[in-house]
Chains A and B, each alone.
Chain A
Amino acid sequence: MALIEVSHLEKTYEDEGTLTPAVRDISFDVEKGEFVAIMGPSGSGKSTLLHILGFLDRQSGGTYRFDGKTMDDYSQTEIAGVRNAKMGFVFQTFNLLSRTSVLENVKLPLLYSGIKESQWDMMAKKAIEAVGLSHRMDHESAKLSGGEKQRVAMARALVLDPQIIFADEPTGNLDSKSGQMVMETIQKLNEEHGHTIILITHETYTAEHAQRIIHILDGRIDKDEKVLRRRRSGEFIK
């Protein structure tokens, strides 16, 4: 069974009677441990797709199963629990609590996890170590560089060891060097820690770090291809 099963997915927004389709008849599977990039120009529906995949939004038609279950199999509270324990999110704009330390930011998902408080520090420190920011642990997150901020966000996504990490344009707000470091970390998480990764991007260079690219155009899958010559973090060019 694939971790992600998407079948004939539709999403239509309704605004004052006007229907705007954002996702049309999309079907694909993602296996455990895969690193998939969803690529497309802005407005192509890739963010909408990510929101549905992350249980942040509901589809209008078709089915989406995550780990064998649809959103309707869960209550509102259980969905929050699934997002908390099984999914990690990395956003383009980092979304860190600015006047809070790196450690506290990374702890944020633990607050809602039901894990004993005595474990929190240890788990957060481990995640911060995995993104190589141990020396910045007690820094206020607002004072970090963009690349560092995104790595804090990644540590936050990792802290509960989720089955999948959704990264929405993670390099979009970064200079090429920082972006390169972030992509290096994502590849490492995939290859060394076995996390399934869904990466949303509009840049071919970034997408080519994945094993597979799903091209989206006007809400439909344009192409779904394996990356023949994967970019390694060292050759990242923006």
Chain B
Amino acid sequence: MSIKYSFKTALNGLQTHKSRSVLTVLGIVIGITAIILVMSLGQGAQNLILGQIQGIGAKTISIAPGRQPTGPTDFVSMFTDSLKDSDLTALSQKTNVPHAASIMPVVFGSEPAIYENNSYRPTIFGGTELFASIYNISVSEGRIFTDDEVKSYADVVVIGSKVNDQLDSNGSLLNQKIKINGRNFKVIGILPKQGQSTFLNFDEAAFIPYTTAQQYVFGKKYFDRMVVEADTEANVPQTVDDIKTTIRNDHNITDPAKDDFFVETQAEAMQTVGTITSVLTLFLAAVAAISLLVGGIGIMNIMLVSVTERTREIGLRKALGATENNILTQFLLEAVILTALGGAIGIFLGASLSFLISLILTKFLAVNWTFVFPVGAAALGLGVAAGVGLVFGIYPARQASRKSPIEALRYE
């Protein structure tokens, strides 16, 4: 019997029990939908996070005070004041770190900002004029502060869009004065709406010169971070080594195990985040796959019922010349068509749901989300669905093929 006719026969078999076929396939549809949804959202989340990290630039190296925490309770290690002006001076010398294109000290914290009667608590970010290029952002109005303003402890601020809206819902605060920690700052620039970011929400931040931040806002003599940009991506590892050597010299550290600072690169951060999200996605997909298994057992159950119910048909086909293989193929194809169909519906549903969610995220929650259709997962899903049909269909199909024609014809 030709493949085409085998398909036709199997399809006929399914069509005569439409509602049962639909119910049977539901388990597979749900399983594949869940898998596609999880994979698609996982991929989207990963792209979002990686995109944001990448936005900061692969050439960026971050120096944090303290040491790598040894465990979740070791947070004391993270709050130290080991990064000082002397480190900035040492790192700035070309002989120490030849491939450093730029260095920016960073201090941050949270202080209330006041304009007229409105108050809002933004993240105060003290940096240099380089912050805009390092974080790949630009102002929608006004300008970024200058090197001179950093050096002269100027009271100037660049605010995020939400800070502006919270302090003055009527319009732009450009060139107005806002009070931060009792001190008047002139708003010289406003950032466009950026959306949620993983590590720093620019919309809720206020950028001021780090000198002003240290001296007048936080009253600290140290840096919370230092950000170094290497001249090329290839020079990042060399620069990391140079930075470590320079700071160790400056801090008189001979044993690297006693470092009171640690250095992170964006590449490492991306790798870590990438691994975490992939593992998480896979884990969720595995949970979703359990529903596929349940769906497969459902298929087997219904196919067994179908084989019993169609005993006479099997007997007749055998009497008319069908071989065991013909019968096996017919029932196996029915199972595989069912599950493959379920897989296709599941892929469509999963992708649609994922698209809907991405739409909601971008339109209503202003998250910079891109819809990802996981082609690999879809192909895998279809394959797995058909495989489920094959595995769980083989037992009922064998039962069918082994029926003796006379027993089958006598069956009432």
| Contact residues in B for A76 (Cβ distance below 8 Å) | 323-324
CB atoms of B409 and A95 under 8 A apart = yes
CB atoms of A111 and B406 under 8 A apart = no
CB atoms of B409 and A109 under 8 A apart = no
CB atoms of A83 and B321 under 8 A apart = yes
User: Which residue in chain A gives the minimum CB-CB distance to B5?
Assistant: A111
B322 close to A (CB within 8 Å): yes
In the bound complex, how far is the Cα of B321 from the Cα of A84, in angstroms?
4
Distance of B410 from chain A, by nearest CB (Å): 9
Chain A residues within CB distance 8 Å of chain B: 51, 54, 56-57, 76-77, 80-81, 83-85, 89, 91, 95, 97, 99-100, 104, 108-109, 111-113, 117, 156
User: Which residue in chain B gives the minimum CB-CB distance to A79?
Assistant: B323
Q: Which of A83, A89, A100, A112 contacts B326 (CB 8 A)?
A: A112
CB atoms of A109 and B313 under 8 A apart = no
Which of the four size classes fits the interface of chain B? Answer: 20 to 34
| Contact residues in A for B326 (Cβ distance below 8 Å) | 80, 111-112
In the bound complex, how far is the Cα of B395 from the Cα of A110, in angstroms?
27
CB atoms of A81 and B316 under 8 A apart = no
Q: A77-B323, A89-B319, A108-B317 given as contacts; is B409 within 8 A of A57 (CB)?
A: no
A-B residue pairs in contact (CB < 8 Å), sample of 30? A56-B405, A56-B409, A57-B404, A76-B324, A77-B323, A77-B324, A80-B318, A80-B321, A80-B322, A83-B318, A83-B319, A83-B321, A84-B320, A84-B321, A84-B322, A89-B319, A91-B316, A95-B312, A100-B12, A108-B317, A109-B320, A111-B5, A111-B9, A111-B322, A112-B1, A112-B317, A112-B320, A112-B322, A113-B321, A117-B2
CB atoms of B313 and A112 under 8 A apart = no
In the bound complex, how far is the Cα of B312 from the Cα of A171, in angstroms?
20
In the bound complex, how far is the Cα of B9 from the Cα of A81, in angstroms?
19
| Contact residues in A for B16 (Cβ distance below 8 Å) | 99
CB atoms of A85 and B312 under 8 A apart = no
Q: Which of A56, A108, A113 contacts B406 (CB 8 A)?
A: A56
Q: Is the interface of A mostly helix, strand, loop or mixed?
A: helix
Interface-central residue, B319, B322, B409, by most chain A CB under 10 Å: B319
B86 close to A (CB within 8 Å): no
B325 close to A (CB within 8 Å): yes
In the bound complex, how far is the Cα of B313 from the Cα of A196, in angstroms?
26
CB atoms of B319 and A112 under 8 A apart = no
CB atoms of B409 and A112 under 8 A apart = no
| Contact residues in B for A57 (Cβ distance below 8 Å) | 404, 406
| Contact residues in B for A112 (Cβ distance below 8 Å) | 1, 317, 320-323, 326
| Contact residues in A for B4 (Cβ distance below 8 Å) | 117
| Contact residues in A for B322 (Cβ distance below 8 Å) | 80, 84, 111-112
| Contact residues in A for B12 (Cβ distance below 8 Å) | 100, 104
Interface-central residue, A56, A84, A111, by most chain B CB under 10 Å: A111
CB atoms of B406 and A89 under 8 A apart = no
CB atoms of A89 and B5 under 8 A apart = no
| Contact residues in B for A80 (Cβ distance below 8 Å) | 318, 321-324, 326
Residues B380-410 near A (CB distance < 8 A)? 404-406, 409
User: Which residue in chain A gives the minimum CB-CB distance to B405?
Assistant: A56
Q: A99-B16, A111-B9, A112-B326 given as contacts; is B406 within 8 A of A156 (CB)?
A: no
Distance of A103 from chain B, by nearest CB (Å): 13
CB atoms of A117 and B5 under 8 A apart = yes
B18-43 near A? 1/0 per residue, CB < 8 Å: 00000000000000000000000000
Distance of A80 from chain B, by nearest CB (Å): 4
Distance of B307 from chain A, by nearest CB (Å): 16
CB atoms of A51 and B406 under 8 A apart = yes
In the bound complex, how far is the Cα of B16 from the Cα of A99, in angstroms?
7
| Contact residues in B for A91 (Cβ distance below 8 Å) | 316, 409
Q: Which of A85, A95, A104, A117 contacts B316 (CB 8 A)?
A: A95
Q: Which of B9, B319, B323 contacts A54 (CB 8 A)?
A: B319
In the bound complex, how far is the Cα of B313 from the Cα of A108, in angstroms?
11
In the bound complex, how far is the Cα of B6 from the Cα of A112, in angstroms?
10
CB atoms of B321 and A109 under 8 A apart = yes
In the bound complex, how far is the Cα of B2 from the Cα of A111, in angstroms?
8
| Contact residues in A for B2 (Cβ distance below 8 Å) | 117
CB atoms of B406 and A83 under 8 A apart = no
Residues B279-320 near A (CB distance < 8 A)? 312-313, 315-320
Apart from A80-B322, A80-B323, A97-B313, 6 more pairs, CB < 8 Å: A77-B325, A84-B322, A104-B12, A109-B320, A112-B326, A156-B320
| Contact residues in B for A111 (Cβ distance below 8 Å) | 1, 5, 9, 322, 326
User: Which residue in chain A gives the minimum CB-CB distance to B321?
Assistant: A84
Interface-central residue, B16, B324, B406, by most chain A CB under 10 Å: B406
Q: Which 9 pairs from chain A and chain B are nearest by CB? A: A84-B321, A112-B321, A80-B323, A109-B320, A95-B316, A99-B16, A77-B323, A112-B322, A51-B406
